[in-house]
Amino acid sequence: MEAAKMASPKSAPKDAQVMAQILKDMGITEYEPRVINQMLEFAYRYVTTILEDAKIYSSHAKKSSVDADDVRLAIQCRTDQSFTSPPPRDFLLDIARQKNQTPLPLIKPYSGPRLPPDRYCLTAPNYRLKSLQKKVSSTAGRITVPRLSVGAVSSRPSTPTLGTPSAQTVSVSAKVGAPVSLAGQRFTVQIPSSQPAGKSATPTTPTVQNVLINPSLIGPKNILITTNMVPPGTADPNPLKRKHEDDDDYDAL
């Protein structure tokens, strides 16, 4: 660490001198010059936060001015929030005693990489692929390919649905390419704009299957939503529910 260069008294502001003195009192002799700036900034931010909190408390108590009790309360509340300290020793001894009572678990042989359940690993994909096929016009009666949007999927349980979309997107659309007569299969859902926003997986018509309505992505106009195009008669290639976003929006907007 570079040796401290104490700013000459005539150029350093008083605050910086005070901070340098504090560091010296605490026994810190070597520090980079920027440490003083950092400490001053921290001190300023901390004191401002506390005083602002104290003002709020004192106005809540309908006092005319901020007094020491308000400041004390503000400090106490902030301490519990930002400056947490590790648990006390007897608590640790307690939980240690509990934890150490259970015997060590036996190790299963031949189990490949020994990792926790998938839910606790970081091995799940955190993305979904967006297929590139364009949607054909709806009057043709063709089913459109389900589109998936790229978006972060945060900590979903690793039910098989998760793994499948990316892998099976292509295959599903391939399957979909061989359609059964679709005259009755196209589902149109009209969404009046007065519907409350918020994701809901409830289909609005009983014949609509596997629709996810995501009004947050929906523009002001009524939207054509396509399903995952599984004809009710045939076996569902993906028997599990699949969510997908509205895809027309991407084309239209």
Partner 1 sequence: DRQTLVAVLQFLRRSNLRESEEILRREARLLGDDLGGNVATVATSSPGVAAVAAVPPGKGETRGVCGVGPSSRRGPREVGSPCAARSLGGSPLFWETKVGAVVVEDQPDVSAVLSAYNQQGDPTLYEEYYSGLKHFIECSLDCHRAELSQLFYPLFVHMYLELVYNQHESEAKSFFERFHGDQECYYQDDLRVLSSLTKKEHMKGNETMLDFRTSKFVLRISRDSYQLLKRHLQEKQNNQIWNIVQEHLYIDIFDGMPRSKQQIDAMVGSLAGEAKREANKAKVFFGLLKEPEFDVPLDDEDEEGENEEGKPKKKKPKKDNVGSKSKKQDPNAPPQNRIPLPELKDSDKLDKVMNMKEAARRVRLGPECLPSICFYTFLNAYQGLTAVDITDDSSMIVGGFADSTVRVWSVTPKKLRSVKTAADLSLIDKESDDVLERIMDEKTASELKILYGHSGPVYGTSFSPDRNYLLSCSEDGTVRLWSLQTFTCLVGYKGHNYPVWDTQFSPYGYYFVSGGHDRVARLWATDHYQPLRIFAGHLADVTCTRFHPNSNYIATGSADRTIRLWDVLNGNCVRIFTGHKGPIHSLAFSPNGRFLATGATDGRVLLWDIGHGLMVGELKGHTDTIYALRFSRDGEILASGSMDNTVRLWDAVKAFEDLETDDFTTATGHINLPENSQDLLLGTYMTKSTPVIHLHFTRRNLLLAAGAYSSQ
Residues in contact with partner 1 by the rule CB under 8 A: 1-2, 25-27, 72, 76, 79, 83-90, 92-93, 95-97, 99-100, 102, 104-107, 109-111, 113-117, 120-123
Q: Name the 3-class secondary structure at 138.
A: helix
Shortest distance (Å) from residue 93 CB to partner 1: 5
- Cβ atoms of 245 and 148 within 8 Å: the answer is yes
Nearer Cβ to partner 1 (75/191): 75
Please name the residues in contact with 188: beta carbons below 8 A apart, sequence gap of 6 or more. 224, 225
HSE of 102 in the Cβ direction (CA atoms, 13 Å)? 7
Nearer Cβ to partner 1 (125/179): 125
Shortest distance (Å) from residue 47 CB to partner 1: 16
Nearer Cβ to partner 1 (168/209): 168
Shortest distance (Å) from residue 149 CB to partner 1: 22
- Residue 2 carries which side chain, given as an amino acid letter? E
Nearer Cβ to partner 1 (1/183): 1
Shortest distance (Å) from residue 51 CB to partner 1: 18
Output 33-42 pairs: Cβ under 8 A, ≥24 positions apart. Answer: 33/2, 33/4, 33/5, 33/7, 40/15, 40/16
* DSSP state at residue 33: T
Rounded to an integer, what distance in angstroms lies between the CA atom of residue 31 and that of residue 28?
Answer: 7
* DSSP state at residue 29: -
Phi, psi of 213 (to 5 degrees): -100, 125
Nearer Cβ to partner 1 (9/88): 88
Supply 167's token pair: 């892998």
Shortest distance (Å) from residue 40 CB to partner 1: 19
Shortest distance (Å) from residue 45 CB to partner 1: 19
Q: Name the 3-class secondary structure at 157.
A: coil
Nearer Cβ to partner 1 (117/206): 117
